[in-house]
Amino acid sequence: MTATGTSAAPAVGWIGLGDQGLPMARAIAESGFPLHAWARRPVSLDGLSGVPHIRHNGITDLAAESDIVALCVGTDDDVLRVAEQLLDGLRPGAVVVNHGTGLPSAAVRLTEVCATAGVGVLDAPVSGGRPAAEEHRLTTMVGGPLPVAERCEKVFASFSRHVVHLGPAGAGQTAKLFNNALLMLNQAAIVDIVDLATQLKLNVPQLVDVLKRGSASSAALTLLNTMVTPDTVEHLSAVEALDMELFDQAMSEAGIACAAVTARGLTGARGLPGLLGRLNP
């Protein structure tokens, strides 16, 4: 028995109710875990209407009631800032989980900071976007101590189709950065093919549609005009470029040269709006 739940249903605190975080939090509550939530803007909590949850006025109050606190916030600096506030309320043995994308070195730093209070840490970024979150089919890539990951696995499974433990602190972030980099490299390849098809005066939308059905298919292809739409493409392109820069920094910190890969990935990220424009003439 934990202080606020049972071993089968630990109390889960959630901070970060954005495009992806909200459906993840709802999935946790729908799976029967006691859900505690705080938001910088209280109106964001209205997104949890219809599922059981307890709203908190402060981060420390949420921490005091939670066995696991999951963060789905912007940057590594945001994560560290929130975690430092959580430590004022978390009990030894609690767990902080970062579901955002960041640097492996930042995951190690967060682990070190929380260890001073006896609090465990997992870096557990997710892949799939809002549609996968809503359908509980995200892929969750976990870094951190295996016993801690096993304690959180059922929580992760509430919104995931795949939960994979990849190694110590930072391993989840490394996998997520490789995942994102490969997506952008594939986008760059699609831009090349579309350029050639355009020169041949082919029907590009029809060509891409058939490529999605053949052995050339990839997530980069299938996301076009599904998750990547005229309404979202500019935002997604900018986010991808930032992720590619994180990838480059992570490789640099590891002493690995990757300038060519970074440049190619940025081509894929920045070329996304033009690519989608060709598919929607």
Q: What is the pLDDT of residues 208-236, one digit of tens each?
A: 999 999 999 999 999 999 999 999 999 99
From the list 111, 116, 113, 112, the residue with the least C-alpha distance to 98 is 111
Residue 2 clears pLDDT 90, i.e. is over it: no
Q: Looking at the domain 12-168, which fold is it?
A: Rossmann fold (3.40.50)
Q: CATH 3.40.50.720 spans which residues of the chain?
A: 12-168
Is 174-279 CATH 1.10.150?
A: no
Mean pLDDT of the chain: 96
Q: CATH 1.10.1040 spans which residues of the chain?
A: 174-279
With bands split at pLDDT 50, 70 and 90, how would you rate the model's confidence at 8? low
204-213 and 171-199 helices, crossing angle to 10°: 130
Residues with a known catalytic role: 176
Kindly report the pTM of this predicted structure.
Answer: 0.94
Paired strand residues for 70:
14, 97
Separation CA 61–CA 103 (nearest Å): 28
pLDDT in tens, 257-279: 999 999 999 999 999 999 999 99
Separation CA 90–CA 61 (nearest Å): 9
What phi, psi does 145 have (nearest 5°)? -60, 135
Question: How, if at all, do strands 160-167 and 120-123 pair?
Answer: unpaired
Separation CA 152–CA 243 (nearest Å): 26
Mean pLDDT of 110-133: 97
